[in-house]
Amino acid sequence: MPRLATLDLVRYAALMPSSPPPGTILGVWAHPDDETYLSAGIMADAVRRGERVVCVTATRGEEGSWDEERWPTATMGEVREGELLRSLAALGVTEHNWLDYYDGTCAQVPKDEGVARVRTFLQEVRPAVVLTFGPDGMTGHDDHKSVCAWTTEAFQSAAPEGSRLYYATQTPEWAEEFVPVMNRFNVFMEDGTPPVTPRDQLAIDFELTPELLELKLAAIEAHESQVEGMLNAFGKDYFRRAMKAEFFRGAEGSGG
C-alpha cells in the first residue's frame, strides 16, 4: 500500500464508515442522557485513544421526572447533574459544560444567543469532530431541534479548518426492531422520528466492542431517574441489543 499523507489518511478515515476521524470531539446535546444514548461508545473509545472529548449540555433536564414522588421536579436538575457527571466518569470523559438553559425552553432562547454560546466552544475547543442532533431532533423534542440549529449555524460561521459536523441518526433496520418497543415509553414524539439513514450512506457506523458496550450500559444506568422504568420493562439485554452501535450522517455542507 502506498504511503498516504496525513490529509489522505483523514480523508480515508472519513470515507470508511466506522469511527469518526481522529482529533478532538465536541458533543453538543440538550439534556443529560442524550450524549450517552447517541455517543457513549464513540466518546469512550476516543478517550482511550488519547483524544480530547468535550461534552456540552444545554439544560439539566429539570422537567424530566417520570415519578413526581420519587423524583420531584424541584430537585430534578441537581439529580440529573449528578447522574450526568457519574455517567461521563464511567466513560472517562472529564470535560463537561452546561449552557444553563431550563429544560423545554431552548426554542424560546434567541437564536443568535444560542448560536453564540455554541460558537464559543468551537473557538475554544477547536474540535475536529462535532456531534449533535439532526434537524429532526432524533426524538422530535424541541430542545433537540434548537441545539441542532445553534450548532449548525455556529459551525457554519466558526468551524475549525478541516472539522466536520455530524448528525445523529439510526438505520432503517434499527428503527424497525426497536422503535415499536421504545414507543411504549413515547420516546419518539412525532412522525419522521427517529431519522433513518441507510447503512451505506452513514458517515459514522460505530459498532461497540463488548467492553465498550458494558461501559455504555453502566453510563446509561447512571441516568437512573430516566432509565429505571425502561430498564425494568425491557431488561438489560434489550438495551445491549439496542445500544450496540452508534450512527451519524454528515451534515450537509460540512463535508462530513
Query: At its nearest, how many Å lie between Zn ion and the CB of residue 137?
Result: 8
By beta-carbon proximity to Zn ion, the closer residue of 34 and 83 is 34
Stretch that binds Zn ion, among 33-41, 191-199, 208-216, 221-229 (CB under 5 A): 33-41
What span, in angstroms and rounded, lies between the C-alpha atoms of 95 and 97?
A: 7
Choose between 17 and 104: whose C-beta lies nearer to Zn ion.
104
Between 83 and 128, name the residue whose CB sits nearer to Zn ion.
Answer: 83
Tell which one of 34, 62, 83, 246 touches Zn ion (CB under 5 A).
Answer: 34
Residue whose beta carbon is closest to Zn ion:
31
131 Cβ contact partners less than 8 Å away, ≥ 6 residues apart: 20, 25, 26, 27, 28, 38, 39, 42, 166, 168, 248
Residue that is written with C-alpha cell 467492553 in the block: 211
Report the half-sphere exposure of 6 (CA within 13 A, side-chain side). 3
* 30 sits near Zn ion (criterion: CB under 5 A): yes
Closer CB to Zn ion, residue 31 or residue 249? 31
In whole angstroms, how far apart are CA 78 and each of 28, 113, 122, 179, 251?
Answer: 20, 25, 27, 30, 33
How far apart, in whole angstroms, are the C-alpha atoms of residue 180 and residue 4?
Answer: 45
Helix, coil or strand: residue 206: strand
User: Is 31 a residue that touches Zn ion (CB under 5 A)?
Assistant: yes
Using rule CB under 5 A, residue 122 touches Zn ion: no
Return the number of the residue (34 or 45) whose C-beta is nearest Zn ion. Answer: 34
Binding range to Zn ion, per CB under 5 A, among 22-30, 84-92, 164-172, 237-245: 22-30
Do 236 and 217 meet the contact criterion of CB atoms below 8 Å apart? yes
**Cα atoms in the Cβ-side hemisphere of radius 13 Å centred on 227:** 23
User: Least Å distance between CB 144 and Zn ion?
Assistant: 6
83 binds Zn ion (CB under 5 A): no
Residues of this chain that bind Zn ion (CB under 5 A): 30-31, 34
